[in-house]
Structure 1
Amino acid sequence: MGLAACSTTSSGGDTAATDPGALTDVKLQLQWFTQAQFAGYFAALDQGYYKDAGLDVTILEGGVDIVPQTVLAQNKADYAIAWVPKALASREAGAGITDVAQVFQRSGTLQVSFKDKNITTAADLKGKKVGNWGFGNEYELFAGMTKAGLNPGKDVKLVQQQFDMNALLKGDIDAAQAMIYNEYAQVLEAKNPKTGKLYTADDFNAINWNDEGTAMLQDAIWANTEKLKSDSAYQDQTVKFIAASLKGWAYCRDNVEKCRDIVVAKGSKLGASHQLWQMNEINKLIWPATNGAGTIDTAAWDQTVKIAQDTKNAEGKTVLTKAPDADAYTNDYVTKALAELKADGVDTTGSSYKPETVTLEAGGA
């Protein structure tokens, strides 16, 4: 699996046009390393859904120094997975990208603390040592504190947090930022030194920004804005890519363990139980999808944009200085993709979806 810097973009539908039996080369840039956060795309590749759609998809792994929306804007990938606020910031800076499918319908960000800290709402963070990752990941937290009447720069002690839970477990901070599908699992995989057993959810409180009303949209499929306007082959390809990807996510909804195994086989460095937890929690962010998987909800979009414009981080900066224009997102392609999937008998809403119960092992093994 190559990194974005080593890739070149596909040539739209030209290959398929010259040979009806050929597959169109497509590159998808992930925003992080291989893990169940992206299982639907790996499943679509593994199960042949992309191939069935006439696409030869290469999945480009993300990493610390890779900005997926920039890779897309530089024509080094055909599509990219990125959080909406970060992608909109890049778009305001000139990146020609459009959200064409909002895969995650809900935010997966939490603020986690030990039970004895009595932190159950954003207001309870007053006077506490509050960990946050920065780099654009902190705006839900800052919006939550601001909504609760706190001044993040004065009423709490902000601490730069690493992308793990060590500071929380050591007691260096009172509340830590965590993704429900990753870092939250890390504390449940750790041993309580007082008991010698793994911590349980009963040992912690977790503020969920969906409940606090300051959630922001996260993983979405982004496409090239100019090509969406001018390239009919790319337009058709986008519908096919979305449909096959969503079919992959539906497969992972119904085959949690198989998708865990697919991701592990693709080279994930995370343990099997951790990946199973992650797959289960990712499904909760997607399903049920009342309006159809991938559909961009206007209210959720508007809330994300408002927070991105109004909420200041520790440096006093906002994600956006103005509202994005009408090309920032569209439901046109996902609507067509969903129609195709429904015609093929694919459940695109998951109305009867029920999550599984996952038992984590020490260290996520």
Structure 2
Amino acid sequence: MRHHPAFRFGQLAAAAALAFAVAAPAQAQDKFTYMTNWYAQAEHGGFYQAVAQGIYKKYGLDVTIKMGGPQVNITQMMAAGQADCIMGSSDIQMMQVREGGVPVVNVAAFFQKDPQVLIAHDDVKKFEDLKGKTILIGSQANRGYWPWLKAKFGLTDEQTRPYTFNIQPFVADKNTAQQGYLTSEPYAIQKAGVKSTVLMFSDHGFPAYATTVSCMDKTVKERSKQVAAFVKASAEGWKSYLADPAPANVLIKKDNPNMTDDQLAYSVAKLKEMGMVTGGDAATMGIGVITDARAKASYDFLVAAKLLDPAKVEIAKTYTTEFVKDAKVLP
């Protein structure tokens, strides 16, 4: 029986549509660039894992992770369109960036605690023991944790000297303490054979989140589907990384050849031990969660410390819970 050409064409079209539907996941993925705030390391592991394990692809994204570094202004680069979203060191940093005129919004926070620490020699047991010691801090500290430490523990500006991202001055002088990152400098100091005490701000009420996904208002509005996919896939990436970091670590060492297996192992162990990713609200509300109460605590700290003018920045514009609320990837 011969069919009318139109009928035959309809059959072919239906077959083509069916084939397309079956192959739909293989269609072109949306390009999405995320820029980190430092050289590749375990602290970025969940994002690299989502690339390595094809998790972003599963959610329809073709993700490029670009490394930041000490000389890279990632906020400027995002504002210039070179990244869709960036890794904020903390939510408070991004609130201040907004006050500075860049309309940036926090959409997820993958570290429920800020990993910043002060490292002292082992005669120091608590923050109060730092009175009279020399404390090496970076210039950014004055717009973040340092006003908080001064107010809480009675430390003074006279005690501070510039931190040069080198542990040798600390190693050489038992009367000094220095800033650091929970997962990094304590390891280097331990390897140098120095016994130290690590004091973590967040254990004493410092409110900040860390390792944020922060995007321009315009991106959140115009690419909300892609932002939602990125947040959910990244949360799955973090869950996977903490279970088996090997796939991401290959990519981390490719981007940052100076990274060692020992350092990666130390960092992953610390992230797990301290519940950086899976603790706090993340345990029940999902990895990457931001809550109204925590965002308010960060904002209130900045206002109280006169580090943010509330007349210039409304708290509601600094963050959104819409993406993390729907992601809900439990540890």
Place the TM-score, normalised by the shorter chain, in its bin. 0.7 to 0.9
- The answer to whether the 8 A contact 2:232-2:327 is kept is yes
| TM-aligned CA distance change 1:226 to 1:262, over 3 Å | closer
Distance in 2, Cα, partners of 1:227 & 1:270:
32
1:172 deviates by 6.8
User: What CA distance in whole angstroms lies between the structure 2 residues aligned with 1:71 and 1:172?
Assistant: 40
Q: Distance in 2 between matches of 1:189 and 1:336?
A: 42
> Partners in 2 of 1:104 and 1:23 — Cα distance?
28
1:74 counterpart = 2:84 = no
Q: Tell me whether 1:349 sits opposite 2:330 in the alignment.
A: yes
Cα 1:128/1:215, change in 2 over 3 Å:
farther
User: CA 1:93 to 1:32, structure 2 compared with 1: closer, same or farther past 3 Å?
Assistant: same
Closer, same or farther: CA 166–300 of 1 in aligned 2, 3 Å: farther
1:278 CA drift (Å): 1.6
Instruction: Pick from 165, 168, 190 the counterpart of residue 166 of structure 1.
Output: 168
Q: Which has the larger radius of gyration?
A: 2
2:19 corresponds to = none
Per-residue deviation, residues 236-260 of structure 1 (Å, max 9, x unmatched): 1111111111111111111134443
The CA RMSD over aligned residues, in Å, is 2.2
Distance 1:137 1:220 in 2: 20
Deviates more, 1:170-179 or 1:36-45: 170-179
Shift of 1:184: 1.2
| Cα distance per residue 1:316-344 (max 9 Å; x no partner) | xx532225431211110122222xxxxxx
User: 1:223 and 1:140 mapped to 2: Cα distance?
Assistant: 23
Q: Which has the higher relative contact order, 1 or 2, with Cα contacts under 8 A spaced 6 or more apart?
A: 2
The offset of 1:29, in angstroms, is 1.0
CA displacement at 1:222 relative to structure 2: 0.9
Cα deviation digits, residues 227-286 of structure 1 (max 9, x gap): 323x2xx11111111111111111111113444344224434122101111223234310
2:273 counterpart of 1:286: no
Q: Confirm or deny that 1:331 pairs with 2:321.
A: yes
Task: Please name the residue that 1:122 is paired with.
Answer: 127
> 1:209 is matched with which residue?
201
The whole-number CA distance in structure 2 between the counterparts of 1:36 and 1:138 is 26
User: Retained in 2: the 8 A contact 1:101–1:221?
Assistant: yes
Of 90, 112, 127, the match for 1:105: 112
Q: Distance in 2 between matches of 1:237 and 1:206?
A: 39
1:69/1:81 contact within 8 Å kept: no
The answer for the alignment partner of 2:46 in structure 1 is: 40
Question: Residue 224 in 1 paired to residue 212 in 2?
Answer: no
Write the deviation string for residues 70-110 of structure 1: whole angstroms up to 9, x where unpaired: 32223221111112222211111111111111111011111
**1:345 match:** none
* Cα separation, 1, equivalents of 2:315 and 2:292: 14
Question: Could you list the runs of 5+ residues in structure 1 that have no partner in the other structure?
Answer: 1-18, 192-198, 312-317, 339-347, 351-365
Task: Say which structure is richer in helix.
Answer: 2
TM-score for both structures, normalised by structure 2 = 0.83
Q: Tell me the SS of whatever aligns to 2:323.
A: helix
AA aligned to 1:73 is A
1:299-332 superposed Cα distances (whole Å, 9 cap, x missing partner): 3322222232233xxxxxx532225431211110
User: Which of 79-88 and 234-243 deviates more?
Assistant: 79-88
| 8 Å contact kept, 1:69–1:222 | no
Is 1:84 paired with 2:91? yes
Q: Does 1:132 align with 2:120?
A: no
Do 2:55 and 2:237's aligned partners in 1 also have CA atoms closer than 8 Å?
Answer: yes
SS at match of 1:135: helix
The AA in structure 2 aligned to 1:306 is: D
Provide the residue aligned with 2:235 in structure 1: 246
Contact 1:112/1:204 (8 A) holds in 2: yes
1:296 counterpart residue number: 290
Structure-2 separation of matches of 1:256 and 1:58:
19
> What is the deviation of 1:35?
1.3
1:26 Cα deviation (Å)? 1.0
TM-score, structure 1 normalization: 0.76
The answer to whether the 8 Å contact 1:122/1:145 transfers is no
| Amino acid of the structure 2 residue aligned with 1:159 | R
Counterpart position of 2:151: 146
- The separation in 1 between residues aligned to 2:259 and 2:270, in whole angstroms, is 15
Secondary structure, in 3 states, of the residue corresponding to 1:38? helix
CA contact (8 A) 1:107 1:210 kept: yes
8 Å CA contact 2:91, 2:209 repeated in 1: yes
Q: How many residues align?
A: 299
- TM-superposition CA deviations, 1:126-150 (whole Å, max 9, x none): 22111111224763243123112x2
The answer to whether the 8 A contact 2:291-2:321 is kept is: no
